[in-house]
Amino acid sequence: MDRNLIREVLDLAMSTGADFAEVFIERTLSKGIQILDHRVHSAQGADSSGIGLRIYKGKRTVYGSSGDLSRSAVLSLARRVAGAFSETRIASAQILCDCIPRNITPVRIVPSSVPNKAKIDVIRMADDGARSFDSSISQVSSSLSDIDRTFTVANSDGLFTGDRQIYTRLKVSAIASSGTENQTGFNGPGRQGGMELFPSEIDPEQTGKEAARQAVVNLHASYCKGGTYAVAIENGFGGVIFHESTGHSLEATQVAYGNSEFSGKLGQLIANPKLTAIDDGTIPGAWGSVNIDDEGRPGQRNVLIENGVLKSFMVDTFNARLMDGCQPTGNARRESFEYAPTSRMTNTFIAPGDDEDSDIIGSIENGIYCRKMGGGSVDPSSGAFNFAVDEGYMIRSGKICEAIRGATLIGRGSEVIRKIDMVGRHLKLAQGMCGSLSGSVPVNVGQPLIRVSSITVGGR
Amino acid sequence: MTDFIAIKNRIDRICQKKGLSEYKMVFSESSSVSATASARAIRDTQTSASSLLSFTASVGSKGGSSLTSTYDASSLEHLVSDAMDNASCIESMSQCFIFEGSKQYEGLEDKPFRLCSTESLAAKALSLQNQMEDSDSRVQSGSETVAGSEMGRICIANSKGLVLQRQYGYSLFMMNAIVSENDESKSAMDFGVCDLSDMKMDRCVSDALAKLHGSEASGGKCSIVLSSYCMRQMLSAFAPVLFGKSATLGLSLFNGKEGSKVASDLVTLVDDPFESSSPVRIQFDADGVATETKKIIDHGVLDTLLYSLSSASEAGKQGTGNAGPYLGASETSFFSLYLEKGSSTLDELLLKAGNGGIYVEEMKGLHAGANASTGDYSIECAGFAIKDGKKDRPLKSFTISGSFYDLLKSIEGVSDDLQWGLPSGFRRIGSPEVLVSDVSVSI
């Protein structure tokens, strides 16, 4: 969209008393191809674009979006948004000045330039990897999806910037069947990057084998007996425990309204001193990284909790207005132009500690080793969280024993982070999609192996 | 409003030029406005307008699709080319059907609908929010009320001359009450699809207060009464087991069970695209097939799974008018899916559950804790102990675990109060409360 038109839109949006205006223009190209039941089952492309327009007046926001980028449509949108206020102008849009962000994620092979066949070859390797793992694998769904997102952000303070984010993700779901029951396994590595990721960073065959291995383990597992246990949670996607139990409650979206159990606790000891947790949007190539966030601010590395002490929240510009003394932290994110941005996690992880993995397992007399976690959710107001154990084992007398299935961990965030009392040395990140107020965004979770001294485990 | 027929005509010409004779398209357009109030003030207002066009090319009976939100000549040209390219790599045995149209469609009237104004929604949201905050001093500042209004339409057309469209529009509200006492917070919601004048606070504050100061549940096996909300959550999570495509792929244990007993006699599960209270009734599915009301499970017997033309062809069955969702690759969907109400009151279910039973009011995390491929669930819940046929003390978080297939067989009572959730597109789910025996509870 023409820069003069953008400034005209910003200025029009501020004509009824708004003190700030922001335009977000986006175009997203995406492609998804799936192999199911041995064959290419679906292939779908998408090309969507639109504009999001936001204004602030004090502690109130107005947001409008439209898929129509014509001059008449965006000016009409500006008039509709401005119509929420009816006062006299107090500010005008500044002259827009270019701001060129650093690029921490160069892409060598842009997926939209690669023919379907090359992508299918990658998916086929993953699918074959899963199917060849064990004869009990009865069904496999493998897919490759890529997203090429280009956006421009401009605001009434004169910011004019933009970025291009390219995401590529391979996902394999495997079913192992005994004839009378099914069990599942999943593996879904992704990065910001293009087709150069295969196979050097993401090995398709191993991706498939890992999903199949998990399904086979679960097929031969017995149901977990519910109760309260000490648990050891493995690195990688195990980090969902921090994401759900604490991460969401440190987002300004919750904190600004006193809606989080951690509101007002900056500087206080809120977790076990063993725990240091970080949200880092600056990791090159990582799934949750941002050159700039969706408000045009550079991504940051934010230490959230340091040795158990709450150091920082994740803050967007609007909620910074509501939180005295807090500055935006480069965490404003949104799924698309249809959503107003708000504070969201990027790559969030528990930092490495100094415990040996063998000591962590060896310390548990009767507990559970969670090798692979599934997704979860949290109610930030109460801190109550849950997440599924996708692959688990009993620990007896410090030894990992038989596989179990059907376990769910539940608890309260502020309690569980006090119970993380051992932290291993080997940090690993894993990819997920996080859903919240501003839609679904890619995030990394992560941690080394940790011990939670006791937690409620749901089972049969 | 976008001129869909003009877009369709341009696509027809592009296809003719490219020699593509079999294709179909779906156009979705919607607009909405909403206002959110919290802490006795309007916090934000939102307005949106968007549209998407999904185009499916059938090349040798294999379908590939592509979507766009821009309709200039080069975008439409790319849309058709991309869909053809996608179709050319499909290997699946699934056929892409271009349907000439059903003989008859349900005569649904497209009632005119106008979005509420931002001002009226803001006034209503603020009024309800103030009422919530006035009702009890323990209501917290994070509580909020949203009032909104949405309208849109779905249009489909194909190379066999079929053109169908349907409009919808409704207003809705949601109130989330967060209450706090002694460092403990709980929340509860009121919501509804109704006219602005009918938006009223109901029980959200009292329901949230009732959850405070919970004690631990007793672990082990017991009878539970699932609230309508929880049963709707379960039906939503496990709906894929009702799809014929899932059965064909071995992802539903209902495979080959049509005509067999799969649930308690009390279970009758219906999909009704014309359900009278629905704001999103529709007379055609994504294939253009006339939709129909059907019993999926009739008094415990699996009558039919849900099929699109493609999945029915693979399974050797008749289609049931359940192709969907409307945009993107055609699979299977439902419309108004509900568990038919029974004859018991909630009090009768609670009495039957007995002392030691649990009323399960909330479930969380079903996207991770419920596995439609296996039927297993292990889900965080909140609720109340049952004592002397009444909801008694609140319970801290606990989990229930089991198999959805077993749960359907273990239903021992269904209440007479069918309640609906909010619509999502043209889908919605309804259920009464249900009594389920012998469920594993962990604390």
Residues of B in contact with A376 (CB under 8 A): 365, 368
Contact A61, A50 (CB under 8 A): no
Residues of A in contact with B64 (CB under 8 A): 42-44
Provide the pLDDT for residue B80. Answer: 98
| ipTM over the 0.85 cut-off | yes
CATH classification of A3-31+42-98 is 3.30.2290.10, yes or no?
A: yes
- Judged by a CB distance cut-off of 8 A, whether residue A92 touches chain B is no
Shortest CA gap A102–chain B (Å):
30
Provide the pLDDT for residue A222. Answer: 94
- Put simply, the answer to whether B39 touches A257 (Cβ < 8 Å) is yes
Q: Is A16 left (phi over 0), alpha (psi -120 to 50) or beta?
A: alpha
**Confidence grade of residue A382 (pLDDT, cut at 50, 70, 90):** confident
Residues of A in contact with B41 (CB under 8 A): 59-60
Mean pLDDT for all residues in chain B = 95
Residues of B in contact with A445 (CB under 8 A): none
Where do the DSSP E strands lie in B60-181?
Answer: 62-68, 144-158, 163-181
- Judged by a CB distance cut-off of 8 A, whether residue A86 touches chain B is no
User: Which SS3 state, helix, strand or coil, does residue A325 take?
Assistant: coil
Report the residue from B52, B64, B118 with minimal CB separation from A48: B52
Q: Give pLDDT tens digits for B97-110.
A: 999 999 999 999 88
- pLDDT of residue A458 exceeding 80, the answer is yes
> What CATH number labels A111-150+163-216?
3.30.2290.10
Q: Give pLDDT tens digits for B301-327.
A: 999 999 999 999 999 999 999 998 888
Where do the DSSP E strands lie in A79-181?
Answer: 97-98, 137-155, 159-177
Q: Give pLDDT tens digits for B246-296.
A: 999 888 999 999 999 999 999 999 999 999 999 999 999 999 999 999 999
- Token couple for A338: 């249809």
Provide the pLDDT for residue A412. Answer: 87
Contact A424, A356 (CB under 8 A): yes
- Overall average pLDDT of the A19-30 stretch: 97
- Put simply, the answer to whether B251 touches A223 (Cβ < 8 Å) is no
- pLDDT of residue A460 exceeding 80, the answer is no
Shortest CA gap B399–chain A (Å):
5
Q: Mutating which of A77, A184, A223, A259 best tests the B interface, going by the most B Cβ atoms within 10 A?
A: A259
- Put simply, the answer to whether B67 touches A45 (Cβ < 8 Å) is yes
Provide the pLDDT for residue B329. Answer: 66
d(CA B242, CA B306): 6
Nearest chain B alpha carbon to A181: B374
Q: Does B61 or B329 have the greater pLDDT score?
A: B61
Q: Tell me the domains of chain B and their CATH numbers.
A: 4-210 (3.30.2290.10), 220-442 (no CATH)
- pLDDT of residue A397 exceeding 80, the answer is yes
Mean pLDDT for all residues in chain A = 95
- Put simply, the answer to whether A175 touches B401 (Cβ < 8 Å) is no
Chain B residues 304-323 within an 8 A CB cutoff of chain A: none
Q: Mutating which of A186, A336, A456 best tests the B interface, going by the most B Cβ atoms within 10 A?
A: A456
Shortest CA gap B339–chain A (Å):
26
d(CA B258, CA B262): 9
Between strands B144-158 and B411-414, the pairing is unpaired
- Put simply, the answer to whether A408 touches B378 (Cβ < 8 Å) is yes
d(CA B291, CA B105): 8
pTM over 0.95? The answer is no
Strand partners, A403: A393
Residues of B in contact with A377 (CB under 8 A): 364-365, 367-368
- Judged by a CB distance cut-off of 8 A, whether residue A414 touches chain B is no
Q: Where are the alpha helices (DSSP H) in A258-306?
A: none
Q: Does A386 or A153 have the greater pLDDT score?
A: A153
- pLDDT of residue A380 exceeding 80, the answer is no
Provide the pLDDT for residue B302. Answer: 98
Nearest chain B alpha carbon to A174: B373
Provide the pLDDT for residue A375. Answer: 83
Provide the pLDDT for residue B330. Answer: 65
Nearest chain A alpha carbon to B330: A42
Report the residue from B329, B374, B400 with minimal CB separation from A181: B374
Strand partners, A47: A29, B68
Residue positions counted in chain A: 460
Residues of A in contact with B148 (CB under 8 A): none
For residue B57, count other CB atoms closer than 10 A to its CB.
29
**Confidence grade of residue A173 (pLDDT, cut at 50, 70, 90):** very high
Residue range(s) occupied by CATH 3.30.2290.10 in chain A: 3-31+42-98, 111-150+163-216
- pLDDT of residue A146 exceeding 70, the answer is yes
